Amino acid sequence: MEFLSFMLFCFFFFNSSVALDTMTPNQTLRDHGETLVSNDKSFELGFFSPWNSSNRYIGIWFKNVPEQTVVWVANKNNPLTNSSGVLRITSCGNIVIQNSESGIIVWSSNSLGTSPVLQLLNTGNLVVKDRWSDNNSGSFIWQSFDYPCDTIIPGMKLGSNLATGLDWYLTAWKSTQDPSTGEFTYKVDHQGLPQVVLRKGSEVKFRSGPWDGVRFGGSPEIKTINGVFKPIFVFNSTHVYYSFEEDNSTVSRFVLNQSGLIQHIVWNPRVGAWKDIITLNSHECDNNYDMCGPYGICKLVDQTTCECPFGFTPRSPQDWNARQTSAGCVARKPLNCRAGEGFRKFKGLKLPDASYLNRTVASPAECEKACLSNCSCVAYANTDVSACVIWFGDLKDIRRYNEGGQVLHIRMAASELDSKNKKTLVFHLMMAISSALLLGLVVSWYVVRRRTSRRIAFGVDNPNQSFSRDIGEEDLELHLFDLVTIKAATNNFSLANKIGQGGFGLVYKGELPTGQEIAVKRLSEDSGQGLKEFKNEVILIAKLQHRNLVGLLGCCIHEEERMLIYEYMPNKSLDKFIFNQTRGTSITWQKRFDIIVGIARGLLYLHQDSRLRIIHGDLKASNILLDNDMNPKISDFGLARTFRNDQTEVNTNRVIGTYGYMSPEYVIDGLYSTKSDVFSFGVLVLEIVSGKRNRGFYHPDHDLNLVGHAWKLWNEERPIDLVDVFMEGPSPNSQVVRCIQVGLLCVQLRPEDRPSMSSVLLMLFSENPMLPPPKQPGFYTDRYIVETDSSSAGKQPCTPNEVTVTRLQGR
């Protein structure tokens, strides 16, 4: 009996497909559902195929997450094309993946050891170790944690072993169907003060900034999250690396996705989905390395994106005003290494690139002295990790944070420092000798004088007093053009210069004396609701800066004339491209996908990352403008609304928008929220895919609108039939179907069922095809009657975009 029990044990241990965590050299793992499972059932290793791919790979994924989420791939650049693969470990300790039919080895760990065992640990680390070694010793012959792919999980490292030369870094997948090496890498740069750098090929796209003792670059995004996320940074003579820990109840990962976004994602078991907690490079300042040029500071708190620090001016003022800021800033008083030069302190910054770490200096005073004694030194900083960091040459890629950040001391000429000291002395003297009454008079006089001087300086002849007073001087911090300049630019508003027409007036193309092309939105005199929307647009857009939002250059106010001056978009609006196509003129799928992603990023900025939480309120194809490279820019903020951070929705009695894009809860109950924009975005996605308008859509077999038609095709498992028949060139069906599914998720009837824009972006670039199935959309017939009753008699008259609704009836 004992012998029989032993034989049964040996049979199951060496031949059974029962999931164990260990393999020995006389075992194999075949592509027939056989897997290794960590002892605590957290991770699983086996053969898998990415979504919509028939290739086979060996990978590790979360066992306790319903969606198969792969965190490591062995043969990512050498897939098997069928299920003939087998995994084994040789008696010499080498892991191999082999085609059992041809005998060809497609991947090898190239490891070497005696008495080897292959084991999947509870951490998700696949290791080759000595049969008798302890898992906690950390002494492994080989480990998967040394070769990250696109993901790091708790315990993995991002950095370098300076003693052995081993680097741990992330490489994006080529696509959701292909885990092979993509074009983005995310790697610790330890030349100078360590920081993490994102590259597309050899081009730097983003850098984190140096470690400050708590996080990289002082960024407020990277911090302990509710006590469950603990960042770790090691920086000594043998190692420099970043890692993180989490509590046992959390499942999370850092991912570098195919589009170059770096995200910390946490599994939410309550809703059964991954949640994007942090996107490190979601801000405009982070998407463009050194976008403000030498000494320029990128910020997202005021109306302009770039600023020059005190003591510096734009190197090319004309380009700077036109938002071409790559030339950066230059010192007003050049440095000459003369006596009296010193430093001015700037707080809340991401420190510049290309630093030099001076390990021989310990105190801040010694650091200042070391920089001042070297004529080539232009700045210094002290951090918690290292005592002294100094910079030579131009200061590049600086960002200002609303909170957090680090302190940088920039070298200044003596005259700039004297100016500062004199101003400080005058300020304190005035505070000491001025009474409250006198101070009030001085402030009043200053405000009046400033308003007058602004009108004189910009040549604004008698602007509308009510308008200026209602907006407030603090809101009108943008360029004021005089009417003469705008008339000259537009050839006196010639019909030949007319490029568009909206509910609130005409739009003209113009050219300033500098040669810059502009678009002039002129408020029509008979617009019943125009003044309110005009004020709204001036106040909001002046504070917004994002690559996917149209840039406001200024405004013109002259008596009854009110105009907004925008950057000119040569390709005009999206509707001109997607609704008026013929064979040979249609835009490709890749360009459509890029436009969808760009619109999503712009909305995410409005909803989450801008200074104000903003609901656009009128998102539609004609309000998406396209630049020279067909990059989308959201425009027309006349109907936009701002939210406090603690607000989720607002009720209104005045329903304004465009038929076919408005959400059901807004039209019927006057409730609007960020999910109202999500609904409009979903409609827009379906229009971009199909090349058809939602309203006015016709099909010979039914009376549904475009949303209803897409919903019908989805339920019939024919979503690909929605694709624009004029679209030429290759279009990956999986990506198209995913966009259709995202569009349908966005137009679901109940706002709480719709995803947030951060989730939308994650789904668009998802490594995982397991998106939730969409539910019934709202307004999917579009054949309804708008009824009014006597209660609406006192409401304001409708503009071409305005709708007053008391009841909707489907047909």
Cβ neighbours of residue 190 closer than 8 Å, sequence gap 6 or more: 159, 160, 162, 240
- For the sheet with 166-168, list strands across it: 166-168, 158-161, 239-246, 229-235
CA-to-CA separations, 627 to 117, 386, 734, in angstroms, rounded: 58, 45, 28
Question: Quick one: the chain helix, strand, coil %, rounded to 5?
Answer: 25, 30, 45
- CA-CA distance, 407 to 394, in Å (whole number)? 17
The half-sphere exposure of 79 on its side-chain side, counting CA atoms within 13 A, is 18
Sign of torsion over alpha carbons 136, 138, 141, 147? positive
What would the DSSP string read from start to end of 7-21?
Answer: HHHHHHHHH--S-BS
Written as six digits, the tokens of 432 are 């000491």
Q: Residue 119 — φ and ψ, nearest 5°? A: -140, 140
What would the DSSP string read from start to end of 99-123?
Answer: ETTT--EEEE-----SSEEEEE-TT
- CA-CA distance, 589 to 579, in Å (whole number)? 15
Q: What residue numbers does the annotated binding site for ATP cover?
A: 521
CA-to-CA separations, 310 to 139, 420, 699, in angstroms, rounded: 54, 10, 63
Question: Which of the following is catalytic: 618, 636, 724, 782?
Answer: 618
Helices (H) and strands (E) in the chain, counts: 16, 48
What would the DSSP string read from start to end of 133-159?
Answer: --GGG---SEEGGGS--SEE-TT--EE
Active site residue 618: yes
Residue 22: how many other CB atoms lie within 10 Å: 14
- CA-CA distance, 402 to 348, in Å (whole number)? 7
In a 10 Å sphere around its CB, with 0-12 CB exposed, 13-18 middle and 19+ buried, how is residue 672 labelled? buried
The closest of 584, 461, 567 to 520, measured between CA atoms, is 567
Q: Are 131 and 115 in contact (CB under 8 A)?
A: yes
Q: Which amino acid would we find at residue 83?
A: S
Helix 589-604, helix 674-690: angle, nearest 10: 170
Distance between the two ends of the chain, CA-based, in angstroms? Answer: 77
The closest of 368, 765, 437, 463 to 598, measured between CA atoms, is 765
- Convert 209-231 to b/e letters by CB count within 10 Å (16 or more is b): bbbbeebbbbbebbeebeeebeb
Q: Where are the beta strands (DSSP E) in 584-652?
A: 613-615, 624-626, 632-634, 641-643, 650-651
Q: Are 715 and 751 in contact (CB under 8 A)?
A: no
Written as six digits, the tokens of 291 are 């976008």
Question: β-strand 229-235 against 36-37: which pairing, if any?
Answer: unpaired
How many residues comprise the chain?
811
DSSP H/E element including 665: helix 664-669
Residue 16: how many other CB atoms lie within 10 Å: 11
CA-to-CA separations, 141 to 37, 38, 161, 169, 421, in angstroms, rounded: 20, 19, 16, 20, 63
Catalytic residues: 618
